[in-house]
Structure 1
Amino acid sequence: MSIRTLSTREVYRNHWLSVREDQIERSNGVPGIYGVVDKEDCAVILPFEGDTVYLIEQFRYTIQERALELPQGGWEQAGVDPEELARGELREETGLVADTMIYLGSMWIAYGFAKQKQHVYLATGLTPGETEPDPEEHDLVLKTATVAEFEQMMMDGTIQDVCTIAAWGLYKMWKERQK
């Protein structure tokens, strides 16, 4: 290991995350400090039917803007089955129930300062139902786009969510290998 942790101190905690400050020593002996955001695993879901991609629009406080993205989130508890989480988030945010969930992979979100893994699922065979949003998600709006529109929104900056863009990349690589 090239960095040794000398001490850890939790500086903040709420229902969704904790922040810690680690005193470290690098392999060259130089001391330093790391601020780390710890969050439980989450999921991002690509609900896809025919040529239609289902998206969520919501206000994102950190950027003070409404953002368009794939359904995603976590349950703030350890040990949750990733597929169960993905199915739950899909239902909560969109009301959609998927016949099939295909695991496309996982990725670390912003591991330069955060410890959170996101599991990526392709959801197909979609049946509409009732949404079950969390209190923080009261302003969610379900949107649809064709694949061409979706890709254009990523290219022109309408969609800037890295998790959405990365999930689409995993899907495209998975799809290419299905041939």
Structure 2
Amino acid sequence: MSDDPATGDAPSDDPASRNVPTEDVPTDDPLAWATLDSAVAYSCPGFDVRHEDVRLPDGTETDFDYVAESESVVVLPFTPEGDVVVIEEWRQAVRRVNRSLPVGGMEPEDENRDAAARRELREETGHEADGVEFLTSVEPANGIANSVLHFFVARGCTPTAEQELDHNESIRVETTTLDELREHVAEREIRDGRTTLGLLYYEAFGTAAE
């Protein structure tokens, strides 16, 4: 199976530079804002909040705040039998257990996005894949965050490793069929946006290898 053809660079280990351009990108588009200054206003494990002074197209100078974080990978993992590996995890922001695909941020040691997808799958589920295939990349909330999600399909996934969870992660691993996963999305039993988008994209377009 072919891996992601556009591997990209490994992320920086500097929290202040999470997925943030080092300089304002010039553009002739009349809608473009000019960034006059940019700094981290608040930092915590997982993301920063950046504060920027900007000039609007009409010349008005104001400020803008947004969430800055490392790029992430989302994995749709299939077992050799064709079942889907899913996780259940408590999400404090919505006060419930969230059923989803494995998701996680890229780390400085990841050589590329393929490696990040394999690592996240192994750490969160204990499964290792025979191969991974790139699906797509999206910006899920670019009005308030610079988040980027890279979606992968992983095939031949078997539980041959141990989970390596972060200190604040408690994850239950299960398998389901693709039909059941589709039904859970249709019936709104799954509300996780990354899982919904990954499944719908796969259903609509498949992967480059298919």
1:172, distance to aligned residue in structure 2 (A) = 1.8
Matches of residues 24-173 of structure 1 in structure 2 within 5 Å?
24-49=54-79, 50-77=81-108, 80-129=111-160, 130-137=162-169, 139-173=170-204
Secondary structure of 1:169 counterpart: helix
Residues 40 and 78 in structure 1, CA contact (< 8 A), matched pair in contact too: no
**AA aligned opposite 1:158:** E
Identity of aligned residues (%): 29
Residues 41 and 78 in structure 1, CA contact (< 8 A), matched pair in contact too: no
Report what 1:14 is aligned to: 44
Greater fraction helix: 1
Q: Is the alpha carbon distance of 1:77 and 1:48 closer, same or farther for their aligned partners in structure 2, counting shifts above 3 Å?
A: same
Work out the number of aligned pairs and report it. 178
**AA aligned opposite 1:42:** S
Residues 50-95 of structure 1: CA distance to partner in whole angstroms, max 9, x if unpaired? 4411111001111121100000101454875111111000000111
TM-score relative to the length of structure 1: 0.89
Secondary structure of 1:133 counterpart: coil
Report what 1:3 is aligned to: 33
Task: Give me the CA root mean square deviation.
Answer: 2.0
Secondary structure of 2:175 counterpart: strand
> Greater shift after overlay, 142-151 or 1-10?
1-10
Residues 94-128 of structure 1: CA distance to partner in whole angstroms, max 9, x if unpaired? 11100010111211131111112111110111121
**AA aligned opposite 1:154:** V
TM-score relative to the length of structure 2: 0.77
Specify every segment of 5 or more residues in structure 2 that has no aligned partner in the other structure, as ranges.
1-26
Greater fraction strand: 1
Residues 6-49 of structure 1: CA distance to partner in whole angstroms, max 9, x if unpaired? 22232101232111111222212334332111111110000023
Instruction: Give the whole-Å Cα distance in 1 for the aligned partners of 2:164 and 2:133.
Output: 22
Report what 2:19 is aligned to: none
